[in-house]
């Protein structure tokens, strides 16, 4: 069946050997690459094509040549599919070939293969088939049927799709992949073009010499594998990493020209897509501080980008790019969004300052207790002792004066103890806002006998109430209750807390004797002034309403978000 020898077959055998070993090299050396799988399939199909073509040439009968010609149709039909799958994977469209619908591409080629093997019954693929022996060696002569042209159109559409993908990659995937794409494009075209020439009848040869070009095409692709690391760095990798990462990345060559940039960097610095092979200072002209930092050799640089609704802080790092031998080949700039990091650092510093203030207050409270508190207690005891001795001696005038001095020292001692207790309870206020309010109310009821009703709104929550807000609100409420105890002669007090429209509202009302609001800033209104000052420190407002004989109501509104309640004048907390 195979007994005819001709020198031409060595070209075909060489092509098959090259494509076979290319597939083996990639299969065992680059198996982790997604592109490698489709490359191995392509090499397998091309090996089958060139080997069967050689066997067809060696056949000395029409039957043997038709047999190997039919086997070649397996390669004819499936090679366009493996080629387009390879190019899709290489150029970043591998998500399309993962879809099971891509199997539909093989339906028509499979039908064509069945028609080839049953052609003797219908002649849809070829007819008027005979062995032409007029040339240097016998070849099959035939006329093409309708099914062949359908196959040809379909196959060339797939081949053109692969070529278009590669050409598109030349303009979109930037210079870092340029040589890879060019090598693969040359290898692909060196196979497609000779086949088109043969099918159109323009070839000067009597047989299809397309398999002869498999060897040169394979050699070109082999060079791409080893010289340009075709399967180690492909546009698909860039599509997955560079295009989707949040970090901004810009790559420069040794002449400070931009060779690559991802969308995140373009968005951060408001750069247009036309940047390739342009110097960095021109591309980044919208951010002169970045250009200046780069020229000054800074490795780290921070800058702020202000937009309509927010302010972002970015950190840019410049690093050298070296090849495997350590030789510099360019530079890379990486931009990080450090806004949340900076906000966290600021919040941490504020908390540390607050902790320091609380520690200082506790230290002061201990000093007051150990020094001034003990001194006042001693004075009170001495005054009471002297007063008792004078009383025993019948000196009433001086005794009355000492009695007044004793009361004053007791009041001073009591106020010192209250201050110490307030400082030491500050930490509890920060931990549990509602619990501290209830403690203050309970203590007030115990000291005065005045009933206090606490109401919490249905939508009330302490979420968003910072320690700074809670501390000042509790002090406002204490001052208000202290005024009620001293001046109102009230029997009932109502306190309510509500969350309304991003605001915290505190409402305090008593049924006491009231006062004229025109006198609110006059003598004796120091407590009310302190309450107003605390509300202003929180970025809020306080409204006081009172009428003689109708009691007093105090309304405090504090913003929880978007206002200055969280940060405004925080350094003055607890003053």
Nearest CA to 112 among 66, 149, 59? 149
- The whole domain housing 74 covers 9-238
d(CA 285, CA 62): 72
pLDDT of residue 509: 93
Asked if 189 and 216 sit in the same domain, the reply is: yes
What does the pLDDT look like over 328-371, one tens digit per residue?
878 888 888 888 888 888 888 877 877 777 776 666 666 666 55
Please report whether residue 129 resides in a domain. Answer: yes
pLDDT of residue 176: 52
Rg from Cα positions in the chain: 45
- 556-559 LR contacts (CB < 8 Å, sep 24+): 556/473, 556/476, 556/505, 556/506, 556/507, 557/503, 557/504, 557/505, 558/469, 558/473, 558/503, 558/504, 558/505, 558/506, 559/502, 559/503
57-61, 194-198, 293-297: least confidently modelled range: 194-198
Residue 170 near residue 181, CB atoms below 8 Å:
yes
pLDDT of residue 398: 58
Q: CB 425: neighbour CB atoms within 10 A?
A: 15
- Boundary residue ending a domain (394, 424, 454): 424
Nearest CA to 318 among 304, 336, 297? 297
Average confidence (pLDDT) over 506-520: 82
pTM (2 decimals)? 0.45
d(CA 349, CA 24): 61
Asked if 375 and 398 sit in the same domain, the reply is: yes
Instruction: Specify which residues 556 forms β-bridges with.
Output: 506, 542
Q: Is the pLDDT assigned to residue 171 strictly greater than 50?
A: yes
Asked if 188 and 48 sit in the same domain, the reply is: yes
CATH number at residue 224: 1.20.1070
Asked if 472 and 515 sit in the same domain, the reply is: yes
Higher pLDDT, 296 or 202: 296
Average confidence (pLDDT) over 533-546: 87
Nearest CA to 559 among 536, 543, 575? 536
Asked if 465 and 414 sit in the same domain, the reply is: no
Residue 252 near residue 259, CB atoms below 8 Å:
yes
Asked if 531 and 404 sit in the same domain, the reply is: no
When pLDDT is cut at 50, 70 and 90, the band that residue 566 belongs to is: very low
pLDDT of residue 224: 65
pLDDT of residue 167: 82
Asked if 516 and 545 sit in the same domain, the reply is: yes
When pLDDT is cut at 50, 70 and 90, the band that residue 108 belongs to is: very high
Asked if 160 and 225 sit in the same domain, the reply is: yes
Q: Domains in the chain: how many in total?
A: 4
Average confidence (pLDDT) over 503-529: 75
What does the pLDDT look like over 221-274, one tens digit per residue?
666 655 655 555 445 445 555 666 778 888 888 778 887 777 788 877 777 766
Residue 504 near residue 465, CB atoms below 8 Å:
yes
Q: How does the average pLDDT of the chain come out, rounded?
A: 76
Asked if 465 and 389 sit in the same domain, the reply is: no
Calculate the alpha carbon distances from 475 to 51, 419, 446, 490, 556 in Å: 94, 12, 18, 20, 12
φ/ψ (deg, to 5) at 490: -80, 160
Q: Is the pLDDT assigned to residue 106 strictly greater than 50?
A: yes
Q: Is the pLDDT assigned to residue 101 strictly greater than 70?
A: no
- Boundary residue ending a domain (376, 396, 424): 424
Nearest CA to 206 among 129, 134, 126, 152? 134
Q: CB 91: neighbour CB atoms within 10 A?
A: 25
pLDDT of residue 529: 77
Element housing 353 (H / E): helix 339-367
Higher pLDDT, 155 or 9: 155
107-111, 159-163, 403-407: least confidently modelled range: 403-407
d(CA 426, CA 423): 5
- Boundary residue ending a domain (217, 238, 259): 238
d(CA 151, CA 114): 12
Average confidence (pLDDT) over 286-299: 81
When pLDDT is cut at 50, 70 and 90, the band that residue 571 belongs to is: very low
pLDDT of residue 412: 67
Asked if 162 and 271 sit in the same domain, the reply is: no
What does the pLDDT look like over 409-442, one tens digit per residue?
666 666 666 666 666 555 455 457 788 888 889 8
Asked if 474 and 415 sit in the same domain, the reply is: no
Please report whether residue 342 resides in a domain. Answer: no
Percent of the chain's residues with pLDDT above 70: 70
Asked if 262 and 286 sit in the same domain, the reply is: yes
Higher pLDDT, 542 or 327: 542
Higher pLDDT, 542 or 522: 542
Higher pLDDT, 92 or 78: 78
Please report whether residue 2 resides in a domain. Answer: no
Nearest CA to 162 among 195, 184, 179, 194? 184
β-bridge pairing 552-559 and 503-510: antiparallel
Average confidence (pLDDT) over 450-457: 90
């Amino acid at each position: 069946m195979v007994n005819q020898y001709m020198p031409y077959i060595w070209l075909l055998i060489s092509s098959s050997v090259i494509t076979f070993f290319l597939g083996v090299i990639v299969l065992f050396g680059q198996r982790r690459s997604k592109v490698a799988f489709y490359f191995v399939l392509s090499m397998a199909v091309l090996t089958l094509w060139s080997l069967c073509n050689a066997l067809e040439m060696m056949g000395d009968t029409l039957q043997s040549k038709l047999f190997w010609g039919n086997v070649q149709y397996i390669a004819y039909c499936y090679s366009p599919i493996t080629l387009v799958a390879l190019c899709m994977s290489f150029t970043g469209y591998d998500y399309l070939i993962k879809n099971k619908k891509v199997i539909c591409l093989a339906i028509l080629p499979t039908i064509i293969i069945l028609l080839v093997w049953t052609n003797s019954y219908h002649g849809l693929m070829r007819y008027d088939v005979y062995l032409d022996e007029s040339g240097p060696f016998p070849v099959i002569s035939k006329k093409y049927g309708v099914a062949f042209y359908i196959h040809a159109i379909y196959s060339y559409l797939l081949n053109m799709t692969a070529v278009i993908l590669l050409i598109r990659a030349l303009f979109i995937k930037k210079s870092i992949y340029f040589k890879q794409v060019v090598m693969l494009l040359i290898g692909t075209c060196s196979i497609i073009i000779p086949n088109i020439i043969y099918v159109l009848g323009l070839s000067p040869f009597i047989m299809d010499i397309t398999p002869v070009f498999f060897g040169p095409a394979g050699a070109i692709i082999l060079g791409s594998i080893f010289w340009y690391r075709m399967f180690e760095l492909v546009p698909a990798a860039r599509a997955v990493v560079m295009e989707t990462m949040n970090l901004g990345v810009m790559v420069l060559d040794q002449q400070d020209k931009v060779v690559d940039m991802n969308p995140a960097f373009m968005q951060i610095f408001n750069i247009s897509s036309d940047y390739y092979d342009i110097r960095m200072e021109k591309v980044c002209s919208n951010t002169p501080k970045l250009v200046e930092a780069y020229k000054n050799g800074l490795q780290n640089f921070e800058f702020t980008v202000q937009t309509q609704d927010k302010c972002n802080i970015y950190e840019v790092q410049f690093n050298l790019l070296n090849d495997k031998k350590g030789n510099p080949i360019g530079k890379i700039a990486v931009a990080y969004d450090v806004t949340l990091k900076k906000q966290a650092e600021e919040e941490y510093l504020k908390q540390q300052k607050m902790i320091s203030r609380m520690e200082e207050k506790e230290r002061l409270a201990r000093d007051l207790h150990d020094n001034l508190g003990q001194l006042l207690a001693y004075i009170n005891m001495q005054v009471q002792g002297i007063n008792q001795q004078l009383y025993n001696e019948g000196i009433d005038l001086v005794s009355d004066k000492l009695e007044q001095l004793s009361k004053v020292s007791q009041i001073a001692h009591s106020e010192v103890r209250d201050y110490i207790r307030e400082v030491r309870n500050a930490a509890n206020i920060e931990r549990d806002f509602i619990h501290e309010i209830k403690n203050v109310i309970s203590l007030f009821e115990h000291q005065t006998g005045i009933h206090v009703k606490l109401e919490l709104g249905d939508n009330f929550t302490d979420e968003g109430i910072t320690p700074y807000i809670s501390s000042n609100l509790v002090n406002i409420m204490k001052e208000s209750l202290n005024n009620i105890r001293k001046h109102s002669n009230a029997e009932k007090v109502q306190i309510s807390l509500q969350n309304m429209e991003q605001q915290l509202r505190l409402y305090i009302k008593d049924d006491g004797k009231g006062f004229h609001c025109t006198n609110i800033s006059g003598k004796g209104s120091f407590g009310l002034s302190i309450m107003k000052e605390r509300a202003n420190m929180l970025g809020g407002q306080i409204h006081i309403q009172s009428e003689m004989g109708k009691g007093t109501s105090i309304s405090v509104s504090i913003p929880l978000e978007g206002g200055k309640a969280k940060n405004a004048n925080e350094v003055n907390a607890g003053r």
